[in-house]
Structure 1
Amino acid sequence: MSNKPLVLLGKNIPEGKRTVLDIEVAKLHTRTTVKVPVIIERSKVEGPVILLLAGVHGDEINGVSIIREIINQKLNVPKKGTIICIPVFNIFGYLIQTREFPDGRDLNRMFPGSLNGSLASQFAYQFTKEIAPFVDYVIDYHTGGGERDNVSQIRLESSEKETLELANIFNPPFVVHSGYIAKSLRESLKKMGKTVLLFEGGKSKNLDNTVINQGIRGTKNVLIHLGFIDGEISLTEKTIFINKSKWLRSSYSGMFKLLAKNGSHVKKKELLGVIQDPFGEFKKRIYAPFDCYIFCINKTPIVNKGEALFHVSVNN
């Protein structure tokens, strides 16, 4: 008995074969067409469809490397169901290493998109209409923006039992409760009834081998758990669940000397860093206001008053 037809971007996807399609975004000023490769591996055995997606923000390249290694290790070849890989979603931003689309929009605030909107909105619309309806699960890979460095983590709405179960199978160092953001990809997919894991790890314009390896291992765990591939699930981390969090912000402007270790648990009044001026006259110490885990650090060397420095757990 054959599988149900699977049609993506107007193309029928054959069983038991590798298919590469292109999302045609737009043309450059030189008239060169910009295309986003979509790599599809479909088994001959009926099963669910999972999408591995990275590069929504063009300068967040850890996720790109994670999916590249998934493909390189042939972990995207399923024994049942279909695995779709889009290693670089925002191809414009990736080419010039910027977060945004050429129209200055954050693609992750443009979903579900519009047929006649901005370039980013039109691209979001094409994805929402031609790919999203046909997937059951999505892993969306991100990093911290700018100089913000995230410890590997899954962000989710903690009331969703299936998502929480998959997060525990992924087995990152941290699972962080995070509500839905309006017009984000995650919110749009949720409204369509899809199960989404949002992975965060490392910072933009940086390849972090620890984060990449954690992302590969976690993705493999999920693929095994859902029956896409064979193998044994590897649970190597003691996952910390953070239900409530806050940013510790700078009370001063100056040079930021970081002392705390990302991913660590610190005690109340423990020294986290120092803000100082370049003239040797000003020095302010930053202390932990309570016992907490640090799961993201701003590694910028110069900070302004009010700038977010440490993302920490509350009541941990």
Structure 2
Amino acid sequence: MNRNLIVAAIAVVVLGLLASSALFTVTQAQQALVTQFGAVKRVVQEPGLKLKIPFIETVVYVDRRVLDLDPPVEQVILSDQKRLDVDAFGRYRITDPLKFFQAVRNEAVAEAQLSATLNSALRRVLGSVTLLAVLSEERARIMNDIRAELNDKAKQYGIEIVDVRIRRADLPEETSQAIFARMRSEREREAAEARAQGQEQAQQIRSRAERERTVIIAEAQRDAQKLRGEGDNQAIKLIGEATAQDPQFYAFYRSLEAYRKALNKDDTTLVLSPSGDFFRYFGDGTVGGAADPAPASTSANRPPAPAAAPATATAQ
């Protein structure tokens, strides 16, 4: 009985090994290739539990999901001779596992081939457009062109390119610095031009204001001179009329004005002859000892004569 149990156990183990070697599972995210001594015997794309010849046939699994393609940053030259550091990425799917296995064997080799092809497509397509096109609405068309060219190359690997996008497109560091320097110079030139125009306008405004000021002052001086002349004319006319009415009183008034101006300070000292014309109204109203004749018509209006002065007078 012990021998039978051992034989049965061995048989179960052998059957289990045969079953595990003969059965394999394909999931929803996989597709499988059954190979025999390196040659592909069949392709399994339907998910489920599958059979194979144990210990002779082997299974190679291929992913059927959408996979990422992330090549390194590539520097390209645009048609307007601008340089760009382009960071692009793609999405691909393995549609023909047999062709994929025969061409590249695994995903690592496939991604290396696709990365080189994507960079080549980027250089060719972007080399025919300008920087403005890359930054405008034409970018979608450019991406479609790159994807179409990459798809043509990927079909020979049994791969379909689902999408291609540019993550970033930046100017190289040295180009950015040169552009910033040029922009700074341009802004400084515009600022200097604006300052020069402002100074020119300010000078024009100052010149115009100075000219208007000169004209206003000249007109004011002209009007002032005219008014002053008219006033002087009226004053002379009035003085002439007043003098004509009473010449002696006017002479007396002029003498008083002369006295006030000559003797207006306390330290003024004059040594004059009392018989001089300057003192004609001092003393008894005579000049040089002789009485001044007065017209009868003006004697009533004549002011009284000042007190007599000594023969030699000193006025202080």
TM-score normalised according to structure 2 size: 0.22
Which structure shows the higher helix fraction?
2
TM-score by length of 1: 0.22
| Higher RCO (CA 8 Å, separation ≥ 6 residues) | 1
For the pair shown, the structure with the greater C-alpha radius of gyration is: 2
